[in-house]
Amino acid sequence: MPDKAHIFNFVEGEMLLIDKPLNWTSFDVVNLLRSFIRKQYGIKKLKVGHAGTLDPLATGLLIICTGKLTKKIDEYQGMDKTYVGSMKMGVSTPSYDGETEPDAHFDTSHLTNETLIETSKQFVGSIEQVPPIYSAIKIHGKRAFEHARKKENVVLKSRKVQIDTFDLYHIDLPNINFSVTCSKGTYIRSLVHDFGKSLDNGAYLTDLRRTAIGKYTVSNAYTLDEFKQKVLEQTKSVTE
């Protein structure tokens, strides 16, 4: 759990572990924390950034850096990430998750646990992956998802990523629970989509939680409410 004795110094720099809630963007979290910290400490300007985006429909660990420690964002961003999640077989969506409605359905009656597990092994190692068109990657100055939502043609280049583990630990078709450890830049939505395609089937991500970034784990992270409470306690003790 977070160190309750630690005294924050946001201008000199803090590295915060935050458990991002569902339906928040990573930038929503950054903006809330920046505004809240500035108000509570009377700071006019404060640098705040995150080390690795989580989709709005994902939860879990965000590393947030403030002040002088924002210089270390690239270092944290380069660390391996660990996720647990769920996918639904037999259905695909344009966004590769539940943000968009299904665009195709497939029969899953022929799929066996053995086939699924053997196929998952093909994705371990260095692989080529195309990011989802519903992503925050910039194309001609606009986010890819902005083009996609307007039904504009979106072409994204493939990239090499490293998948260290891809374990299907509970199979109850059409639903599968899995865990992944991977390099930075990996899209778990694309991994799930490509897994479905490799079986001549479909799959989309139904749930995702980031549990670790390098040695840092979500079990040691603040919820937003816990963080705000910690700050309020510290600012109150200073004024008393």
So what's the pLDDT on residue 238? Answer: 56
What six digits make up the tokens of 154?
């979106």
Query: pLDDT tens digit string along 69-92?
Result: 999 999 999 999 999 999 999 999
What pLDDT score does 133 carry? 81
All structural domains of the chain:
15-78+215-239 (3.30.70), 81-213 (3.30.2350.10)
* Nearest-angstrom CA–CA distance, 136 and 236: 39
The confidence score (pLDDT) of residue 153 equals 75
Rounded Cα distance between 43 and 89, Å, is 50
DSSP readout, 133-169? SSSS-EETTEEHHHHHHTT-------EEEEEEEEEEE
Structure confidence at residue 81 (pLDDT): 97
Q: Over the stretch 164-174, which tens digit does the pLDDT of each residue have?
A: 999 999 999 99
Which positions are annotated as active-site residues? 55
pLDDT score recorded for residue 239: 52
Amino acid at the residue 126 = S
User: Residues with Cβ < 8 Å from 133, sequence gap 6 or more?
Assistant: 94, 95, 144, 145, 147, 148, 154, 156
Mean per-residue pLDDT of the chain: 92
Query: Which residues contact residue 56 at a Cβ distance below 8 angstroms, ignoring those fewer than 6 apart?
Result: 22, 23, 24, 25, 99
